[in-house]
Amino acid sequence: MIRLGYVVTAFDRAQAALEWLKAAKRLPDLIISDVVMPEMSGYEFIQRVRSNPPTLKIPIILLSSQAELKDRLAGLEAGADDYLPKTISPEELELRVKALLTRTEEAPVSLTQAVAKTFSVFSLRGGVGTTCIAINLAIAISQLWGIETCLWDMALSNGQCALMLNLKPKLTLTALHDWNEQTLEETLLRSMLLQHETGIKLLPAPEAFEEAELVTPAVVDLVWAPLQTIAPYVVIDAGNHFSEAVVPVLERSDAILLVLTPELASVNAAYQALRIFSGLGVESDKVHLVLNHIFPASTLLPAKISSGLKKAIFAELEYDSQNFVRSINQGKPYLTIAPKTAVSLSLAKMAYKLTVAEKRHERLILEGDVCLSKKSMDYPTLRKLRAA
């Protein structure tokens, strides 16, 4: 806590803490208490804090090795604002502390930024490149307009965004699975995001396969609103399953990039996905086909795929296995290691097509040669992209 800039006063006896609270010229902003203590339990300590008018509203976190539901209920009934197991990670404890401190501030955080545009990258077939496309699309949007872009890894059972960006998560969505509050403040969500040098922020997926079920639709609801205020655009790696948590994400997205490869099984998976989208009431023009050539050659031509699915191909990525493998193994985005390839240009065009209408509406398109950011890429000018 000292590392975070908080001044900490500690006591080894509850009675000593109560005496200090009565005499203190400045009361603490938050109390963290154990359950099992000498002289009195944490439950009794909280009740005595709550019985004193000056300390009545101080938020209290109760820590205990007793993590059963009855123990949690006893803590909350005693007056605790949060009840946490002692096995909690320092990062999650930090998040809970910030949540309580933010909730008790006199002025709530203002959410004045416009709601973000959200693009989900999805497929019903694994191994087609959804994660690579999501990562590089987010970077392309960020550097195309010189803005922050959020990348949300919702490939819950096997999320690889952090690995492929060489980032190490401290907190993931699993920290929110038993969140007591009805909302999540933007400042708290920001503390969960990982900053990448390309200008994007990552909200990582669970690190362990068995933790995927902890990310419920309720967690999605909790995250959705504040995430929409952090950056103008959110790109979501929606994985390759119609899970209970992923479906509401897809339904709320402004566009769904349905990824497929030029082989029959992938085309069939795309057909099934389109059928399910239709059943969910997702508008057809919101779903865009992205054809990723992961093979050096295929007899299944794009025109035939488009005809079979009765849908135009929105974007097409050429075969470049060598650079994609380099990107994955080095933990560096494709756009940064191969910025001048046809694939990079296709990714930039895709980012441009998805965002240009809104940018024109905002009157952010300038006349003349407005170049993409040269920080890590060297693309053609926007004038060339507009003509493409």
CA 366 to chain centre: 31
Q: Give me the residue label for tokens 């470049």.
A: 320
Verdict on whether the full-model pTM lies above 0.75: no
74, 46 Cβ separation under 8 angstroms: no
Fold exhibited by the domain 117-387: Rossmann fold (3.40.50)
Look up residue 214 and give its two tokens. 């902890």
In this prediction, residues 121-131 reach a mean pLDDT of 95
Rg (CA), the chain: 25
CA 320 to chain centre: 28
* Domain range annotation of the chain: 14-88, 117-387
Q: Which helix (H) or strand (E) holds 316?
A: strand 313-317
Helix (H, G, I), strand (E, B) or coil at 195: strand
- For 14-88, which CATH superfamily applies? Response regulator (3.40.50.2300)
Average pLDDT of every residue of the chain: 84
117-387 matches 14-88 in CATH topology: yes
| d(C-alpha 227, C-alpha 33), whole Å | 32
Q: What is the DSSP letter of 246?
A: H
Q: What is the pLDDT of residue 124?
A: 94
Please determine, for residue 384, whether its predicted confidence score (pLDDT) is greater than 60.
no
In this prediction, residues 222-248 reach a mean pLDDT of 92
Q: What is the pLDDT of residue 183?
A: 80
Q: What is the pLDDT of residue 301?
A: 93
In this prediction, residues 231-235 reach a mean pLDDT of 94
Q: Give me the residue label for tokens 């010189």.
A: 146
258, 122 Cβ separation under 8 angstroms: yes
Please determine, for residue 263, whether its predicted confidence score (pLDDT) is greater than 80.
yes
Q: How many other C-beta atoms can be found within 10 angstroms of the C-beta atom of residue 112?
A: 6
In this prediction, residues 7-21 reach a mean pLDDT of 90
Please determine, for residue 374, whether its predicted confidence score (pLDDT) is greater than 60.
no
97, 30 Cβ separation under 8 angstroms: yes
Q: What is the pLDDT of residue 15?
A: 92
Give the pLDDT confidence of 41-95 residue by residue, as tens digits.
998 999 999 888 889 889 999 888 876 667 776 777 788 888 888 888 887 788 7
Amino acid at 13: R
Please determine, for residue 381, whether its predicted confidence score (pLDDT) is greater than 60.
no
Q: What is the pLDDT of residue 71?
A: 73
What are 121's strand-pairing partners? 237, 257
What separation in angstroms does the CA of 33 have from each of 160, 210, 323?
37, 31, 53
Please determine, for residue 371, whether its predicted confidence score (pLDDT) is greater than 60.
no
Q: What is the pLDDT of residue 104?
A: 60
